[in-house]
Structure 1
């Protein structure tokens, strides 16, 4: 058993710099991810690219399938080339892919663009979560991750506004051109100002670079963790999650993540269309995109604070229960003001439930394995992200929007069950074991 790791080097200004730059690129990540759902009602109205509801669901799944592959490979890539280079590469990839969507002349090219965008989107989120976790103040890891994830919901709000601004014929192409902006804004800022993970530099034996970074920002150099695996042993972190009887806990976390991302991407893609099918006007339906993401921002901050106090897995389980209640209630026609309130509360619980699951895993992983642990729990969840848009498309195509609310609510209940079975005890403040014990403690 390795000794307890020393905390990574942290300083208020350095933490703010890392979180701020990561927040910016995750904002663009959220915009690119949610913009398809925001412009989809317009695309279906004008039969853009020959789309119907079933084909639209398939196209929505292309991006999330790309995200699955991006998330699964993110851990190994970032542990190999570094957090900073991975963030730059992912941002550039989904920006350029949006340009391909903007010029697409048919569903094939458009779907290819969404798939390529998904590769970058899927790799970016776990990498930024890893980096901000390493620079988070002790005891504030979940809050810092929650703060970062507010950017994803802010991107969702921005996508809703873009959907409203680009409502004319062919306006969806303008929306995707807007999503190319990160290439000219986010990438240069990250290249110039974002510091590399000191833990990563020490893990790769680049001690002088880590020392220079610490000196430049006026923070202490973290003590290297003992018993680091060799550079070629990149699968050791994954294998450790299945040793000593921990396979059950690992699989339960993965199943909870599957359900969580099915909800996030299924609801995000089809909420405007399902609400319109329930009798709401298009303007109100797009307004729900803004409101549900506003709720998501509040939920990230509230969930992060509660998770640091009571345990991230406990909060995630409770949030999934409340998500189920909210989504099921949306299937009932209500006065518009009440519907907006329910949409806001649903967003508060929906998005932060999954974020707190990530926070639980990130907070209990060592520096050299953290990206792999977060990447895999995110990557396995991407199977749900692929299934969610497809499921919504099939239900809408069958004119069974009401059943969509029920199906998504049941998914939230199942994620709660998986977390309960994994165990919801509080984890120790400073885990003493390796990455496997840390993931178990995260329950």
Structure 2
């Protein structure tokens, strides 16, 4: 081990040397949490038909259940996640995972609409907070060269969880009922809370923002564990002067233009994405196909998203990140706009796989873009507000979708309506120019 020496740029403290087991563990646990969250959030769409029949919930009220879940994610990202810039990524992550696990388990016990709406709101709050913090934590434990790819890997866990969830739900739903889905997910999530408590360390870059002797001691302990040189002091980057993490900081002249562009991109992407995630199985059933076909349609969409997410993250190292996101969004919008025509010549599941590849790939890419846009001092706040305001669109999408389905709009017409936000999102993301 070399003598202690001050670092020149703390953001790049992990750029030299091989990936350590600690870094790999952080990415792995983050990935597993994302898989669970993907299943947690889309679980309601898989069982929507049975829940609607058993609890006698109308399509409009079922749309409200989808919307309050996403409203919770919005508020969790905007109001709860930013506290991680003050108390730490690890503490906020543990609290969020516990809230998700408890609310998921209790959802299996509901007998009334209001109980379902309340518990899904709590789940949304926990997931919204967790997504922002897990993105920041992964970004801060990954070398700069692989940052976009590592965030893409963990973010791909979300559609992967939805994909695995659909495969699991198909055989167990007729035999064990919809309640077992929530009981199982609740227990698995609570187990992961214990895993996070035991194995996930605090972010090095967050500890640097604390600037205390104890924080320096913790950083050096982690650096030695990761086979890096310890440091003698925290070096302040004179180019970044941020006194307090808040939304006002995001709207300061330093960040304002790109922040607004990022918010609008997330908003329009989420309108279309969460319409699909919430209503696709129901639309498939309305077209006269089976319940199994409806679940496998969601599997195809999310399966395409897993592949698209990983490929976009990999290629982003050589091409402009937001340029790729813009291309993905443009083509996915055109595919949805011409869905009715394409459906006549292509297999439904193949077409949905392609749309998922493009749309969910672009969505995951936005996580990487938001993590790279902001410095450590406001990273969780920046990601949280981007996700939060984006999820305002995620509240609108499923609710409008519910109204359109109630009024008898066909699947093809629904797809054409929700293609428009993707075209608008592509316009804004091309202007971000984040590599």
Alignment partners' CA distance in 2, 1:426 and 1:393: 35
Gaps of 5+ in 1: 428-443
| 1:414 maps to 2:421 | no
Q: What is the match of residue 179 of structure 1?
A: 185
Paired residues for 1:397-412 under 5 Å: 397-402=406-411, 403-412=413-422
TM-score (norm 2): 0.90
Corresponding residue number in structure 1 for 2:137 = 131
User: Could you tell me which residue of structure 2 aligns to residue 42 of structure 1?
Assistant: 50
In the alignment, which of 18, 22, 29 is matched to residue 37 of structure 2? 29
What is the aligned partner in structure 1 of residue 380 from structure 2? 371
Distance 2:196 2:345 in 1: 42
Q: 1:325 offset after TM fit, Å? A: 2.5
Query: Is the partner of 1:140 in helix, strand or coil?
Result: helix
**Shift of residue 170, structure 1, vs aligned partner:** 7.3
Which segment is superposed worse, 120-129 or 79-88? 79-88
Distance 2:288 2:342 in 1: 8
Of 266, 269, 272 in structure 2, the residue corresponding to residue 257 of structure 1 is 266
Does 2:122 align with 1:111? Answer: no
The counterpart of 2:224, out of the listed 215, 240, 245, is: 215
CA 394–5 in structure 1, closer or farther in 2 if over 3 Å, else same = same
TM-score (structure 1 length as normaliser): 0.88
1:234 maps to which residue? 245
Map 1:347-362; keep pairs closer than 5 Å.
347-362=356-371
Offset from partner CA, 1:196-238 (integer Å, 9 cap, x none): 101111211211111112112322457544357687x222xx3
For structure 1, which segment, 71-80 or 250-259, has the greater mean C-alpha deviation from structure 2 after superposition? Answer: 71-80
- Cα distance in 1 for partners of 2:346, 2:229 equals 52
Which residue in the other structure is 2:335 paired with?
A: 326
Whole-Å separation in 2 of the counterparts to 1:64 and 1:426:
27
| In 1, Cα distance between equivalents of 2:49 and 2:97 | 27
SS at match of 2:369: helix
Q: Go from structure 1 to structure 2 and tell me whether the alpha carbon gap of 1:87 and 1:105 turns closer, same or farther (over 3 Å shift).
A: same
CA drift at 1:414: 1.3
Describe the SS at the equivalent of 2:123. helix
Residue 292 (structure 1) aligned with residue 297 (structure 2): no
Of 103-112 and 248-257, more deviation after overlay is shown by 248-257
Judge which range, 4-13 or 87-96, deviates more: 4-13
Q: Deviations over 1:339-392 (max 9, x none)?
A: 111111111111121221221121132122211111111111010111111111
Aligned 8 A contact 2:101 2:190 in 1: no
The equivalent residue for 1:165 is 171
Deviation at 1:248, TM superposition (A): 3.6
Q: Is the 8 A contact 1:327 1:408 kept in 2?
A: yes
Take 2:106 and 2:398, find their aligned partners in 1: how far apart are those partners? 21
Q: How far 1:337 sits from its partner (Å)?
A: 6.7
Residue 68 of structure 1 pairs with residue 74 of structure 2:
yes
In the other structure, the counterpart of 1:437 is none
CA distance in 1, matches of 2:220, 2:34: 28
How many residues were matched structurally?
Answer: 418
Which residue of structure 1 aligns with residue 13 of structure 2? 8
- Higher mean C-alpha displacement, 167-176 vs 106-115: 167-176
Partners of 2:255 and 2:97 in 1: how far apart? Answer: 34
CA RMSD of aligned residues (A): 2.2
Aligned pair 1:275/2:284, yes or no?
yes
